[in-house]
Amino acid sequence: MAAPDNIIVADKVRKEFGGLVASDDIDFTIARGAIVSLIGPNGAGKTTFFNQLTGVYKPTSGKIVFDGHEITYLPPHAITKLGIGRTFQNIRLFSQMTALENVLVGMHSRLTGGIIGSILHTRRVKREEAAAEETAKELLAYCGLPGRAGQWAGSMAYGDQRRLEVARALATQPKLLLLDEPTAGMNPQETAEFTGFVRKVRDDKGLTVLLIEHDMKVIMGVSERITVLDYGAKIAEGTPAEIQTDERVIEAYLGKGAAA
Amino acid sequence: MTSLVDSARRVTAGHRDRWLVPALVVLALAYPWLEDTLQSLPLIGDFIPSTESMVVIFAFTMMAVGLNIVVGYAGLLDLGYVAFYAVGAYTAAWFASQQFNQVTFHFFSSVPKDQPGIHITMWAVLVAAGVLTLVSGILIGLPTLRLRGDYLAIVTLGFGEIVPQVVRNGDNIGGFDLTHGTFGIAPIDPAGFVALSWLGLPENFQQSEDRKLWYYVVALALVLITVFCSVRLRDSRLGRAWIAIREDETAAAAMGVPLMRTKTWSYAIGAFFGGVAGAYYASFRGGAFPADFYFQFSVFLLCMVILGGMGSVWGVVVGALFLGYLDREGLSTIGSKIQEAGVDFDPTKYQFGIYGVIIVAMMLLRPAGLIPERRHRIELEEGVHDTPFYDVTTEGTLTDRDPSDD
């Protein structure tokens, strides 16, 4: 079976929390290999949509297909295993674990060591663990944290925690990487570095990247396509240039009459 | 074999002195021979526990280390651990006593062949007890582990009460006497090396001259096996997943950790050790009695874990030895000393009050336990960067997910 051109196909995805419609029949596709941004004012339903892609929320109705597999009602770990890795808006590292251990947890679904094997330290488990450690250290170095494997995640500086979250997400061996406001709290220089890094990851690993961002510089600089949400509904979609001149987008951000 | 030395070192890693643990093990092994000498020492001699008490204390230690897998590693507050002790004890009672005298079945048993009932060698019974409690851990875990935090604690508390109730009322299940009701089942066959008696090993511990010694050595071996498995599991793929769940369930799931399966394993493996310890203790006592399986015992074990340091295997061992000692001998010895001094105060009457004071004092002075887990120590000493303030509430919880999780 040839891999479909669109890695994500979301069809009329709807999520209601009581009377609140957080996702209003969103149709959404991401082309394989693209860097796509999801933007919108605060409370537009970006993270809710993210959480449906990763299985944290179940949609009220609609369908999500990832890489040819329907994932609408799959639990998060099964979706991760299929190849969606993510970071969190408010950093959610395992702070009482080392950087290395954080990355190793990310590799959980790619490892096979069982209970008996772990107790007896069979040759297979030992070899697997050693190889995993090696890979994890390479990943840390790749994400700009060389030699930091033994440091406690909770005691790392904020920017490094962001990097570690990306390293952990990459450890799940994703085909699609979801970054939820990755540059929040970074200074302009860190932000610029990070933007370059996202592009590099995509090219090196052949990933598709979906970003949620507020920083317009990042969005316009890195994304190939942008989708705009407002009040849970998709109001625009297109290239950065198109979005910048879209009336509905300007209205959503700045209010009625601002476009004139 | 360098690998054996290597793995011993790894298990004891984290301690500055890697010879400390082997030395303590040797000392523990020598204890039955040192007992008389130690007890004849001035001042402290009266406070030295007997070898028999040590057997019980070791059984408690094993349970505490098992409970630590659930509470300390995976962060699941289990208030009903006593249920697994009960399942273990009754497994021993069913497969090694005259309870089911409708049949007569012997398998390397240490009792005379003409006794009715099922009599299986205690070694097989210990394994069976572990497996049965593991299965009951899975059965109890599957419906309950979907809950989080306080809710989980309440439901496990419920199961901890249900199992003893079933045991107390199980003497007439459709006319069938499963548990012998409030009387309990006694006597349970003693352990023994039936197939190895030609080596000069005792066929029946209870009738052996070195009764105390054999029970002690086996109990120590069981504790060491439990500690070994516990440490190995902690440092494995599964152990990492447990700690990840303890730290942040949502993030763990997003990293590919199957929550239900991983939590259930922690519950089941914790139960396994509780069951084996329960069966061994029942065999040592010679019976399984429903009066033992009260909520207080779950709390007692939990106190050992908290006192020692949640998640820290060696800490829990120390906590269990200490509280186990107080429970078996310490409090009454101290009490008799106080009364000798002419004060009318009996600490054994205030047992749980005293444990409470100890726990409160610990929380004030050393909140992470006697020997804190490496991870907690770091957090307390180095501090952790504050998490950003914004948008913590909109991040998803897993409570609205449907139960098709696994």
**What is the tens place of the pLDDT at every residue in B181-196?**
888 998 998 888 877 7
CB contact under 8 A, B269 and A115: yes
Reported as a single tens digit per residue, the pLDDT across A208-241 is 999 998 888 888 888 999 999 999 899 999 999 9
A184: nearest CA partner in chain B: B388
Which residues in A lie closer than 8 A to residue B396 (C-beta atoms)? 51, 56-57
Residues 30-59 of A with CB under 8 A from B: 47-48, 51, 54-58
Name which of A224, A229, A232 is nearest A248 in CA terms.
A229
Rounded (10°) angle between helices B51-68 and B313-325:
140
By Cβ distance, the residue of A75, A78, A118 closest to B237 is A118
Q: In terms of Cα–Cα distance, which of B355, B362, B173, B159 is closest to B274? A: B159
Q: What is the ipTM of this complex?
A: 0.91
- Does A129 sit within 8 Å of B232, measured CB to CB? no
- Over residues B33-88, the pLDDT tens digits come to 888 888 888 888 888 999 999 999 999 999 999 999 999 999 999 999 999 999 99
- The chain B residue lying nearest A126, using CA atoms, is B236
Q: Mutate which of B145, B146, B237, B406 to test chain A, going by most A C-beta atoms within 10 A?
A: B237
**What is the rounded CA–CA span in Å between residue B25 and residue B11?**
13
Going across the sheet that includes A69-70, the strands are A20-31, A6-17, A61-66, A69-70
Q: Do B404 and A58 touch (CB under 8 A)?
A: no
Any CB–CB contact under 8 A between B402 and chain A? yes
- Full-model pTM: 0.88
Q: pLDDT per residue over B218-259, tens digit each?
A: 999 999 999 999 999 999 999 999 999 999 999 999 999 999
Asked if B72 and B78 touch (Cβ cutoff 8 Å), the reply is no
Whether residue A77 and residue B401 make contact (CB cut-off 8 A), yes or no, is: no
The reply to whether residue B392 touches residue A90, judged by beta carbons under 8 angstroms, is yes
Which B-chain residues 216-255 have CB contacts (< 8 A) with chain A? 228-229, 232-233, 235-241, 243-244, 247-248, 250-255
All domains in chain A, ordered by first residue? 1-83+174-260 (3.40.50.300), 97-173 (no CATH)
Residues of chain B numbered 362-391 and touching chain A (CB < 8 Å)? 375-376, 378-379, 382-385, 387-388, 390-391
Closest partner residue to B240 (CB to CB) among A48, A81, A101 is A101
Residues with Cβ within 8 Å of B119's Cβ and at least 6 positions away in sequence, in order, are B95, B96, B97, B105, B106, B107, B109, B111, B189
